Amino acid sequence: MSYITVVINQKGGIGKSMIAVQLAAVYAEILANGDADPTVAVVSIDPQGTSIEWAEKIEKAGREVPFRVLDASNNIANLRRLRKAKADIVIVDTPGFLPLAEDGESIDPLGDGPVGDALRAVLDIADDVIVPLEPDPAGFNPTRTTIEKVIKPRDLPYGVVISNWEPRDGKLDLERTQNMVLKREWNLYNSTIRHFRLHARAIADGLVCTQYQSSHTATKAKQDFLALALEHQLRRQQNAARAV
């Protein structure tokens, strides 16, 4: 059966597609066994379809997409069958979603309509959740809503991944973000995704990190996602041990 990871944050433009696609790419490279069918899949329920567009750009550039890609933004039935997907690892790329009304604490924060239905469907079958967070205060409140109102009530294993950190700006913003997460007693990944122009250009160039032209910078850029994949698997093992 497939292991399902949902990448989610209420805030749009916070790096969900980047993490979903690049993490899938390194998993595909690690798990490659010569079979014709990829062992990793990215499932998009984002109406904007960033991960779908990314895969199309890779193909147009004449490269092979190293993982299976599925647009399930309008197919709730398929989402409920993801556990039976022909992939060892399924990573779900999600859209942002509407906030709670100020006087609506009991209202489902995922909202009504097809987006909310799709989010509920994948969270109902998720094994764990990754919550991207940039070192920018604009993402703090949406992240709080995501964790406190969506993930914790479902008792899903999760971890916050700080992404798009620019090392040249110093560690102040990174450390403030880490401290904010720890102060709220949220689960924090040790792995941090640094900002690289290679990542920013990846969609337009039709590339994933395992396809970057060899260079010192490319190695560092890929290394962040390799570290995330390793930590993700360690957490998976820990969660499985606790469930026994």
Average pLDDT over residues 213-232: 98
Q: Percentages helix, strand, coil for the chain, rounded to the nearest 5?
A: 50, 15, 35
Q: Check residue 187 and report its DSSP letter.
A: -
Share of the chain above pLDDT 90, in %: 80
CATH label of the domain that carries residue 53 = 3.40.50.300
Residue 108 in this model has a pLDDT that exceeds 60: yes
Residue 185: pLDDT band with limits 50, 70, 90:
very high
Residue 9 sits in which domain range?
3-243
Residue 101: pLDDT band with limits 50, 70, 90:
very low
Cα dihedral across residues 57, 62, 65, 66: positive or negative: negative
Average pLDDT, the chain: 92
Q: How far is CA 221 from the centre of its chain?
A: 17
CB 9 within 8 A of CB 146: yes
Report d(CA 149, CA 146) in Å as an integer: 6
Residue 12 in this model has a pLDDT that exceeds 60: yes
Residue ranges of alpha helices (H) inside the chain are: 16-31, 50-60, 76-80, 113-125, 140-145, 172-183, 197-205, 216-243
* Residue 197 tokens, joined: 């122009």
Residue-level pLDDT at 107: 65
**Number of folded domains in the chain?**
1
Sequence letter at residue 171: K
Query: Model-level pTM greater than 0.75?
Result: yes
Residue 99: pLDDT band with limits 50, 70, 90:
low
